[in-house]
Chains A and B, each alone.
Chain A
């Protein structure tokens, strides 16, 4: 496995907004992480990047194994060598992800110069090549532009180019399409899928869009309130969702053949980190809740297939 998270617990003081997260991604594989806002998707990504201390958090328990090395407790100097080098991040909002006072090109160059030791002109050549690969028209002139002179979709391609500049093996894309127009979203997802297929990267694709999951992912981790509630191959997940939350999420995908006014939603709201219900965290909103769910927290049990679910009811079935 390229990346292996086991029983990861993230804490901010006394709060643990992410707990018992177990998931993995291999080279050439796309793992989707889905869940509503506040489910801990982005925090998990931040933990893998080793950037939790920047926002006041820390890994309280568990391991993050990258290519065999546990990143938890790795000295910052070594972590920095991986960051932007072997592990790269693509952020959600391309409008705010670039330095508005710096030209595009040098921003892409940075990672290659830092991690690959390229000189100015070699880094520039590499950046231009990456931009061409990402189908950015006229890379040589875009190289000298400032971010505000580009559209959102182009900016996101630049952010992707920035992530690729250090020749990463693992790419973490945190909602890479959320801030973009629908027409552009599909292009960006396709670019990411192509990258994984052509370069053999491992990709963690964080999203709340089940459509993107179905379109791009090989496997999916469904998160709710800081826990992985279901881990499954994408076909199995859509064909036979086991966790009531996954089932509800899939029911919420609008289809064109639905009757008017039948858009479905999951009743209730995600509880805040301070007011977690006892037992299964989904129990107040669950359609199939049993008595046991209100008392005992279900654990994620992964079978030989690599699929697993954290639900008393689904396991009993």
Chain B
């Protein structure tokens, strides 16, 4: 198990290199540059060159990459061109808000989704199952920003139970969590339900029933454990989404966060900030996948042995 984890960690090095290449160059595919945003009206071409030189933008892309990568290896993400502050400081200020919302939404959607999936699978073909399946369809098609606006209207404006927007205190986290988590509930519930139903058809489940075990014990102690394998896979893909996927929600609820930081940086062509944010998000995705693999290997005795 430890060997498997170490080997996966070593494999991350080439992945990190490729990711850094993409992250660095992709922003240069977008037309425009940050200098346009810095120059006052009536600036001369000389001033333009001066600014470009100041930020190293006059050198070749390869040279710029090598410099960036060199700094990166010492833990320096560079300085925001527009805001003039270290990228790491900007990320550090926004990251807690993203983590807070992301983790809350992930926990909320995972727990509710698994519960909904288990219930739907246990009452397969009944009205309970139909309602949950209906909700899954609804939840996976309703856009989260629209749901966010609706929630604000009902619970903040009409009922006044929670703040309309902002990120002060736990009560301001409730609506964004629901809005951001709904799609996740639908996804987790759907995967859980199908995996439970598929598992129930296996011989060993018939034999568990033949032992006279109560159905809910069979569902929770045996079937659910098998069904969690695909659920862990999709969850590991969503860990990356936790940090950057809630951009629209951040906008709707006027919350700070990595997503809105990235969007602003993109609009201003703030290269170092864009690269820093993208790198964070990419690392979150990679680490999410890694955690998923490890958890899955720990769950399944066959994989545990094959990968030991």
Docked-complex contact A166 and B211, CB < 8 angstroms? yes
Shortest A56–chain B CB gap in Å is: 9
Q: Is B210 an interface residue (CB 8 A)?
A: yes
Docked-complex contact A51 and B203, CB < 8 angstroms? no
Q: How many angstroms between the C-alpha atoms of A96 and B206 in the bound complex?
A: 10
Docked-complex contact B207 and A159, CB < 8 angstroms? yes
Interface size class of A (residues with CB under 8 A): 20 to 34
* Segment at the B interface, from A30-38, A78-86, A235-243: A78-86
B301: chain A residues within 8 A (beta carbon): 100-101, 146, 148
Docked-complex contact B222 and A111, CB < 8 angstroms? no
Complex: chain B residue closest to A172, CB-CB: B210
B214: chain A residues within 8 A (beta carbon): 80
Q: Of the candidates A81, A83, A99, A149, which one forms a contact with B210 in the assembled complex, judged by CB atoms under 8 Å apart?
A: A83
Q: Is B190 an interface residue (CB 8 A)?
A: no
Docked-complex contact A84 and B210, CB < 8 angstroms? yes
Q: Of the candidates B204, B209, B222, B302, which one forms a contact with A54 in the assembled complex, judged by CB atoms under 8 Å apart?
A: B209
Write the A252-274 contact mask toward B (1 if CB under 8 angstroms, else 0).
00000000000000000000000
Interface size class of B (residues with CB under 8 A): 20 to 34
Write the A59-95 contact mask toward B (1 if CB under 8 angstroms, else 0).
0000000000000000000001111110011011100
Write the B200-220 contact mask toward A (1 if CB under 8 angstroms, else 0).
001110111111111000000
Docked-complex contact A96 and B212, CB < 8 angstroms? no
Q: Of the candidates B204, B207, B222, B302, which one forms a contact with A146 in the assembled complex, judged by CB atoms under 8 Å apart?
A: B302
Q: Is A102 an interface residue (CB 8 A)?
A: yes
Shortest B123–chain A CB gap in Å is: 14
Q: How many angstroms between the C-alpha atoms of A181 and B209 in the bound complex?
A: 27
Write the B222-240 contact mask toward A (1 if CB under 8 angstroms, else 0).
1001100000000000000
Shortest A130–chain B CB gap in Å is: 14
Write the A93-130 contact mask toward B (1 if CB under 8 angstroms, else 0).
10011111110000000110011000000000000000
Shortest B207–chain A CB gap in Å is: 5
Complex: chain B residue closest to A92, CB-CB: B203
Shortest B230–chain A CB gap in Å is: 14
Q: Is B51 an interface residue (CB 8 A)?
A: no
Q: Is B299 an interface residue (CB 8 A)?
A: yes
Write the B130-147 contact mask toward A (1 if CB under 8 angstroms, else 0).
000000000000000000
Docked-complex contact A85 and B212, CB < 8 angstroms? yes
Docked-complex contact A51 and B211, CB < 8 angstroms? no
Given contacts A102-B222, A146-B302, A148-B301, contact A97 B204 (CB under 8 A): yes
A148: chain B residues within 8 A (beta carbon): 301-302, 305
Q: Is B36 an interface residue (CB 8 A)?
A: no
Q: How many angstroms between the C-alpha atoms of A110 and B202 in the bound complex?
A: 18
Shortest A213–chain B CB gap in Å is: 23
Docked-complex contact A96 and B222, CB < 8 angstroms? no
A84: chain B residues within 8 A (beta carbon): 210-213
A98: chain B residues within 8 A (beta carbon): 204, 207
Q: How many angstroms between the C-alpha atoms of A92 and B213 in the bound complex?
A: 20
User: Is chain B's binding surface mostly helix, strand, loop or mixed?
Assistant: helix
Docked-complex contact B204 and A82, CB < 8 angstroms? no
Q: Is B300 an interface residue (CB 8 A)?
A: yes
Shortest A18–chain B CB gap in Å is: 18
Shortest B226–chain A CB gap in Å is: 6
Docked-complex contact A83 and B207, CB < 8 angstroms? no
Write the A224-246 contact mask toward B (1 if CB under 8 angstroms, else 0).
00000000000000000000000
Complex: chain B residue closest to A83, CB-CB: B212
Q: How many angstroms between the C-alpha atoms of A146 and B303 in the bound complex?
A: 12
Q: How many angstroms between the C-alpha atoms of A270 and B166 in the bound complex?
A: 71
Complex: chain B residue closest to A56, CB-CB: B125
B305: chain A residues within 8 A (beta carbon): 148-149
B211: chain A residues within 8 A (beta carbon): 83-84, 88, 110-111, 114, 162, 166
B206: chain A residues within 8 A (beta carbon): 51, 54, 91
Given contacts A114-B213, A148-B301, A166-B212, contact A101 B226 (CB under 8 A): yes
A96: chain B residues within 8 A (beta carbon): 202-204
Q: Of the candidates B212, B225, B302, which one forms a contact with A81 in the assembled complex, judged by CB atoms under 8 Å apart?
A: B212
Q: How many angstroms between the C-alpha atoms of A76 and B85 in the bound complex?
A: 70
Q: How many angstroms between the C-alpha atoms of A101 and B303 in the bound complex?
A: 10
Which residues of A are at the interface with B, using a C-beta cutoff of 8 A? Answer: 49, 51, 54, 80-85, 88-89, 91-93, 96-102, 110-111, 114-115, 146, 148-149, 159, 162, 166
Closest 7 CB pairs of A and B: A84-B212, A84-B211, A83-B212, A89-B210, A146-B301, A96-B203, A80-B212
Other than the given A82-B212, A100-B301, A114-B213, 18 more pairs (CB < 8 A) read A49-B210, A51-B209, A83-B211, A84-B213, A88-B211, A97-B207, A98-B204, A99-B204, A99-B208, A100-B226, A101-B222, A101-B299, A110-B208, A110-B213, A114-B211, A146-B301, A159-B207, A162-B211
